[in-house]
Amino acid sequence: MKKILIYVLLIGVFASLSWYVIEKGNLIVRQPQVISNGQNATLADNAKPVVIDSTANVIDQFLNNIKYPLSILLLQVIIILFTSRIFGIIFRKLGQQTVIGEIIAGVILGPSIFGWLFPDLFAIVFPHNSFISLQFLSQIGLAFFMFVIGMELDLSKIKSKTQDAIIISQISIIFPFFLGTCVSYYIFQELAPKDVSFLSFALFMGISMSITAFPVLARIIKERGLTKTPLGVLAITCAAVDDVTAWCLLAAAIAIVKAGSVTSSLFTIGLAIAYIVFMLYVIKPWLQKISEKRMKEGKIGKTVIGISFFLLLLSAYFTEIIGIHALFGSFIAGVVMPNNTRFKEILTEKVEDVSTILLLPIFFAFTGLRTQIGLLNNGHLWMFCLLIISVAIVGKLAGSAFTAKIIGRTWKDSLSIGALMNTRGLMELIVLNIGYDLGVFGPEIFSIMVIMALFTTLMTGPLLNLVNFSFKNSAKVSMNDG
């Protein structure tokens, strides 16, 4: 009781003294200010005291607070996370990847659904001038995500695999890339932005057709218990090689687009190659020594974690300023992390939850805000959409499956590999957004390509089930015939 009385007394005394000082301060008459030209700054003669209606003032203040950029951003993040979580759960119940539900949630929150049904509310929640904040947050989330993807990539395993993975992967890149350039020739006149060269458009269309979503593929394989099977190992290796190749092609394409021609981009590409060599043969061994020393001491302190994050940001910054993209630098920073399982687990735990749970849904929503399905308002645009989806499936699925069969795999494994390699998901959306930011893709072709990415990702699970079901029935028929 005594402590409570002392607490109340002290609070009361100092609060009263503070109020007394404030009241005295309100009586101070300020002297006219002297400005640079020597003239006195005085109040306007017609200045009158403002009578404030306290109730109206509170309401106006509340409404103004709602319109603050930070308030709008926080509201957007709350809506995005809630919607993404709901759709992620729904699609997981349907046997799909959570990431697919999050991508669908982003499209629904965009002008195609939410903006179409509730245009006034959409304009309040997602005003166009707020997109830049969402874009920055999404780019930060992608940078951390690509860092984690880089850490998951084991270059030593890729080197040790047989030629099968290399052959399947490279054919699954070059064949759909070729088909993508052919489609570009057909749709360039109508769908490409007016000031974009055919070279830039064809490069991004080819890469968009040839990409594979390594993270989604890895999660599908893990959920189906294929991680340690020959099929799972081969598919993961193919996707890893595919990922590295595609990112190198994307880096070159970005350099060419920014430079304007292949010749002008050679300097940027040369810098990028030198940077990769430096990171792999100088930074990676140095980080390996530091981690081994720390692991022997039994701990990985904040210093090592801080160095890793600093390297992530520095790498992203360097690749951005040389004309590639910050995401490429984040990916390389992850690749050069020490080959220590415990170290990678600790670092992944610190990064992955924030990036995948908080920031990646913002990227999906931002992609959805850019996707305007309503622009596909006539039949021939939907014909283009069907053409692109068909070419994407033929290029990736058929190209991978037939290559696997040619080099001696069974039809079941070949078709399964084709279905897995046809998964595009998040990686495709990253490529599309980069193309959109560079002005290579306009709103119509961007929306068409997002639909293609969603369709090819959605079909992966059902297609794998169909392959397993078909060959299981074939095996039963063969046994009954025998």
Hey, what domains does the chain have and what are their CATH numbers?
Answer: 80-471 (1.20.1530.20)
The residue ranking higher by pLDDT, 46 or 148, is 148
The residue ranking higher by pLDDT, 60 or 395, is 395
- Across the chain, what does the average pLDDT equal? 82
Overall average pLDDT of the 199-211 stretch: 91
Q: What is the pLDDT of residue 156?
A: 64
Q: What is the pLDDT of residue 387?
A: 93
Q: Are 207 and 248 in contact (CB under 8 A)?
A: no
The residue ranking higher by pLDDT, 357 or 412, is 412
Residue 405 corresponds to which tokens in the numbers above?
A: 């069969």
Question: Is 321 a residue whose pLDDT tops 80?
Answer: yes
Overall average pLDDT of the 262-277 stretch: 83
Q: Are 96 and 458 in contact (CB under 8 A)?
A: yes
Question: Is 179 a residue whose pLDDT tops 90?
Answer: yes
Q: What is the pLDDT of residue 301?
A: 67
The tokens 């084709």 sit on which residue? 418
Overall average pLDDT of the 141-158 stretch: 76
Q: What is the pLDDT of residue 278?
A: 92
Q: How much of the chain, in percent, has pLDDT values that exceed 70?
A: 88
* C-alpha distance across the termini of the chain, in Å: 92
Q: How much of the chain, in percent, has pLDDT values that exceed 90?
A: 15
Q: What is the pLDDT of residue 161?
A: 55
Q: What is the pLDDT of residue 287?
A: 85
Cα separation of 447 and 120, whole Å? 22
DSSP β-bridge partners for residue 41 = 33
Q: What is the pLDDT of residue 43?
A: 43
Check the CA dihedral 326-332-338-340 and report its sign.
Answer: positive
Q: What is the pLDDT of residue 446?
A: 92
Position 388 confidence tier, pLDDT thresholds 50, 70, 90: very high
Position 360 confidence tier, pLDDT thresholds 50, 70, 90: confident
Those residues with Cβ within 8 angstroms of residue 170's Cβ, 6 or more apart along the chain or in another chain: 241, 245
Q: What is the pLDDT of residue 394?
A: 92
User: 364-387, pLDDT tens digit by residue?
Assistant: 888 888 888 888 878 888 999 999
The residue ranking higher by pLDDT, 449 or 324, is 449
- Listed ranges 46-60, 213-227, 460-474; the one with the highest mean pLDDT: 460-474
SS3 (DSSP) at 47: coil
Least confident of 22-31, 127-136, 247-256, 459-468: 22-31
Specify the DSSP element, H or E, that contains 309.
Answer: helix 302-321
